[in-house]
Structure 1
Amino acid sequence: MERQGNSPADDIPLTLIVEGTHGPVIHATNRTARTMGVQIGARVVDMRAICPELQTEYADREGDKAALERLVLWARRWCPWTASDGADGLILDTTGSAHLFGDEDAMLIEMETQFSLLGLTSRLAIAPTQGAAWALARFGTVRSICTEGEIAQRLSPLSVSGLRLSAETVLLLQRLGLKTIGALMNVPRLSLARRFVKAALTANPLVRLDQALGKLAEPVASVEAKPRFSAQSRLPEPIFDPAPYLPQLCDNLCDALQNAGMGCRYLNLTVYRTDGDVSHIDVATAASTRDPVHLHSLFRDKLERINPGFGFDLITLTAGGVEAIQIVQTQLGGEAHSDLQLTQLLDRLTAKFGPRSVSYPVVYESHVPERAQRRISNFGAPPPQTAELIKERPIRLLDIPEEVHVLYAVPEGPPAQFIWRRKNHRVTRYAGPERIAPEWWKDRPGTRLRDYFKIEDQTGRRIWLYREGLHEDGRGGDPRWFIHGMFA
């Protein structure tokens, strides 16, 4: 794939150059320059000798890398699995996608057309292996389609450079008279194995040859996992607002989820712009759902965040956090379950005001009461590890425990009488103590233990209070008393 800004005419040889040890060298070429014998890695002064009309521009490597990363996602208009291939290529797993465009040849024509609209020339190849496709795309015809039984025949006339070998290895093979892949295949493997047995991957022609022929597996990884459920809408011409197509996309996606007995926790809406970029927005739900009306409503106040650029001609809606949904009858009369209404309310509030504006409490594993609960705002993610409360706890826990003034204390028991909030309280009954020691892996040295008591005063109010520290524990003066919560 070649970078072209305000590109010249197709018959003008154009190259991108970078600084080398002995002056500028060729970094990339267009199709015309290649046909005139211009070679990548050669010095510019040497190539001007064989091509005087050669035009050069300095390469922007970082810019090209960023553009290629955007193209990786943009190319998912043809298939759900894409990845970058070096600094100038893309890998697409088109298995099961060609029939959407008619056949493989029609799909390649569609790809070449779309790339040309971006100002990019491309060399395309479809083959059963990544190695074969790489070689055919760079050393074959402009558009190549190779079946499984044709790999050896199609690769034979190509240069050994098509095996993705280092320049040193290619030079060595050429000095040995092995200039084509076919010549390499005719050499006995044992003699080559002795020479390259300890060579690295890019310096081992036998490994690369086996990968290209499909005799050796070559695992590759996409930018992200292949989506399991997705719906898309291809448009005859670019538009700027996806809203008219969103209801049908939600219906199609939810139909697929329902047929599989699944629901989703995330939705990703992506538009593929005509300038080669993508723009997307995400929404999350508090519980798994496949209700198309509800999911569509979550995008209502977010569509203006889409950056349409000069328009987009493809819209995709992808489900994430997919999990099974149990279909049960919630009520005898058929009414909707109240929990479902609550989760949909939470989804609407989160979509309207943002994920940090709505939170819910989650129980954590900690004996210290104020650490046993946290508030989580990410409804789309599974809750963190939780623990069940074994002992009775107050229905209301004070954010900051309030210190009380003890008038009379019972030995090894709660205060018989104390003043709290300017009122005198007399203890009529109590239960405890429940001792809670400091968490040494979190608390500072010198933190004192607590003895909690459940007490009831003369008015019937049930209070949870604790004594901080013990007499002569070496961690402070006399114990202090605090109220931490109230029971029902």
Structure 2
Amino acid sequence: MFDGIQRRVVSAWFPRLASDRMLRAQPLAGPCAVTLRQNNANRIHCLNAAAERQGLQRGMSLSEARIFCPDLQSRAADPQGDQQFLQVLRRWATRYCPWVGLEGDDGLVLDISGAAHLFGGEALMLADMRQRLTRAGFAVRIGLGDTRGAAWALARFGEGVAAPGQPLETLGPLPVAALRLDDKTLTALQRLGLRRISDLAAAARAPLTRRFGPGLLMRLDQALGRQPEQITPLADPPHYGVRITLPEPIGLQGDVMAAAARLLDQLCGKLKAQEAGARSLCLTLRRVDQEPQEVELRLARPLRDPQRILPLFETGLREVGAGFGIDQVRLEATRVEPLPVRQISHVSSDGKDRLDDLISRLGTRIGIDNIQRFLPADSHIPERSFLIAPAAYCEPAGPWVALRPRPLRLFPPEPIAAAGARPPGQFRWRRMSLTTARATGPERIAPEWWLDDDNWRSGLRDYWQVETRQGRRLWLYYTPQDPGWFVQGEFA
């Protein structure tokens, strides 16, 4: 800290972050709880003020809580969403000071040293912070002290302000739990009669160190300012966007491609530094008349190679109208995924790269979601033995495993006129008269009882591979419960 500036730290604790965020998105009247599934039971994760007044506590099972409060409303917890929203609050808090970090899963810590006078003093700054958060629907408890430990203790156990240079006078009456100690240490201190921070500060240090180790006194010294404790602000996520302003308007496609190539080199340099790759890019062309033209590109795989990305913009640029000219070009990676550096080996991956480039090129014409591939599925039912998924968002899976041969073409069952449990010698299918030359089977397939499928309500199916004298190789099945024959596929 700079000479002459007293260090001051603010801790903002959101005791009901999960429930406040939920109620902010969907207001509810009355007691409300956010539940989290733990050990095959739904337990209370967070409560609103009305539920706390009913005597409910965190950690209770939901069934137990409904006994005490029958009209309790509950919603499932979203820890990931809570952490993302806490990041939003962290960015918002930079309006007070540049040094803002996270304090656990439900708090913020701010180093406001030298910044309070910009808001008229510490009291006005804290009042403005509390007013804005309360107006947004969040319960907050704020502590201010010379150290991070003192601010944390005051936010959670006192919600007050420690005068500069006098931390012990304010922290002394607080319980030892305000020192961020583990439960085992707190229980042992209670048995020794050390219940408050003032009691711990007055006790002999050597016996405490021998019994509890250096961690106990380290927390005490951090709270009182005898040992430093840093506040590490989180860095803002990298922004993958570059632009160029042209001295003279351009209108030829070759000139636009040259500008895009220059921007791609800069953007891919940023992606490489972060070991990331772009999955979608947006090229914005600002015309002289201020009307922007956008060309969006979606890739089959994360890329950061300018030579592979640049040709994919050609199709979209053909449809762009330059008007009176383009004076600014901006390129942004709107979706980014991790792309670690790969070890170079003698095994070439050119084939896979060419396939990815082909999918990306076709995707610029017909839409990348329209390019699909078949994937094997874990089911012995013919209709459920495969999945169809967009090729850009999945890897080829395999190998395809089938205990019996499967037809190349599979279609909905088509009935044929036949009798008996064995394949017919002659039958008509699709207006063709066919004669059986050889039949292999049967392969009995039972329905998957846990799935509701109208096509399999008839029960068992006995499948046969039938070769006809006319050259057709068909896949027929017979239903014993409701006697009948059907054709469902054709081999190559």
TM-score where L is the length of structure 2: 0.49
Structure with higher RCO (Cα < 8 A, 6+ apart): 2
TM-score where L is the length of structure 1: 0.50
